Amino acid sequence: MRIVVVGGGIAGASTAYHLARAGAEVVLVDSKAKGQATAAGAGIISPWLSKRVRIKAYYILAKAGAIYYPKLLEMLKEDGQADVSYKQVGALYVSASKKRLDELEKLAYKQRLETPEIGEIIRLGPEGAREKFPPLREDMTALYLEGAARVDGRQLLQALLEAGERHGVRYVQGHASLLHEGTDKVTGVRIKEEMIKADHVVAAAGAWINQFLEPVGVKLPIEPQKGQIMHMHVDADTSEWPVIMPKSSHYMLGFDGGKVVAGATREVHSGYDTKQTAAGMQEVLREALKVAPGLAQAEVTEFRVGLRPAGPNPYPILGAVKKVTGLHLAAGFGPAGLNLAPYAGKMVAAEILGKPDDVEITPYLF
């Protein structure tokens, strides 16, 4: 059985890796389009207190995705990929409001009843919060969740690609178009003059997915959402700094080597614009310094732009397309791709191989 996966971000790479590891013949195609969401993702793995936890289909997958990381890391290590930057550093949900933290603490203990992976739940005053993340504002109190983690999307992606190659994944760079019989069956893809026949095609083309699906009349409720994110350097040991989660949709987190990441904008109806903008930089800086004024003297080292494949639902569209034989989806991960997509790739692979998965794919079908 040959499967072609179109899209070389985390979703596509994970799908290809899990298929190949199970013994399937896999071709992974990527156009290297500018603005891939994976490259600009923050890499926060902490779904426990998300504003979307009340949406069942989202939280089931987000929780499974977070819990799956240690298993995935074991598999990657077996395949020679030991350093993927993943680290459980915890998360600080910060606020100057006692009422807000009371509500979050109540929710955290409720979630931990069925998800012990949340770990310790600790209430911290301003001094305790700044011990964990020194640049924080002096009046910020926090709720600390031990089980939160972070991962560098670029490193994880490279590990998945190299591990997949070890299991025989053939990687092809280029623009893929569907080979199809009418609008109800796909038979492979064309890349320039090469036709690659396949039993199954997985569309994991991120923000560009509707362009790829157009020949068979499939249009998903997904469009690009522009995200601008800032990387900074500070003269400190940031390797244990936790993820910072304020009330807003912005965030901060530390990585090894003095790196601090702050983000991100959520620019709807952005099209495929990947320009770095003054307004985007201003927004990210304003929100970061509002919460952590101690970063005012940090060196800005990089400003990245990614196009998230976003839809009306916070959960992705996965699995076989009912009306098109041989076509499968791994689409619509929005801003949570690094939490959702590694596990979602496993789910799509399991469906193609006819194997059961711990998470039922039905709620995510198109």
Give the span between the Cα atoms of 65 and 46, in whole angstroms.
10
The pLDDT score that the predictor gives to residue 149 is 98
The pLDDT score that the predictor gives to residue 39 is 79
The pLDDT score that the predictor gives to residue 48 is 94
Give the span between the Cα atoms of 65 and 47, in whole angstroms.
9
C-alpha dihedral sign at 8, 9, 12, 16: positive
Q: For residues 199 and 3, is the Cβ–Cβ distance under 8 A? A: yes
The pLDDT score that the predictor gives to residue 83 is 87
pLDDT in 10s for each residue of the chain, 366 residues: 999 999 999 999 999 999 999 999 999 999 999 999 987 899 999 999 998 989 999 999 999 999 999 999 999 999 999 989 999 999 999 999 999 999 999 999 999 999 999 999 999 999 999 999 999 999 999 999 999 999 999 999 999 999 999 999 999 999 999 999 999 999 999 999 999 999 999 999 999 999 999 999 999 999 999 999 999 999 999 999 999 999 988 999 999 999 999 999 999 999 999 999 999 999 999 999 999 999 999 999 999 999 999 999 999 999 999 999 999 999 999 999 999 999 999 999 999 999 999 999 999 999
- Decide: residue 185, CB within 10 A, 0-12 exposed, 13-18 middle, 19+ buried: middle
Token pair belonging to 247:
């009330």
Give the span between the Cα atoms of 64 and 118, in whole angstroms.
12
pLDDT in tens, 228-243: 999 999 999 999 999 9
Greatest Cα-to-Cα distance within the chain, rounded to the nearest angstrom:
65
Q: What share of the chain is helix, strand, coil (3-state, %, to 5)?
A: 35, 30, 35
- Helix 153-166 to helix 337-353 angle, to the nearest 10 degrees? 20
Q: For 16-109, where are the E strands, in sequence order?
A: 25-30, 44-45, 91-95
Tally of helices (H runs) and strands (E runs) in the chain: 9, 19
Q: For residues 254 and 280, is the Cβ–Cβ distance under 8 A? A: no
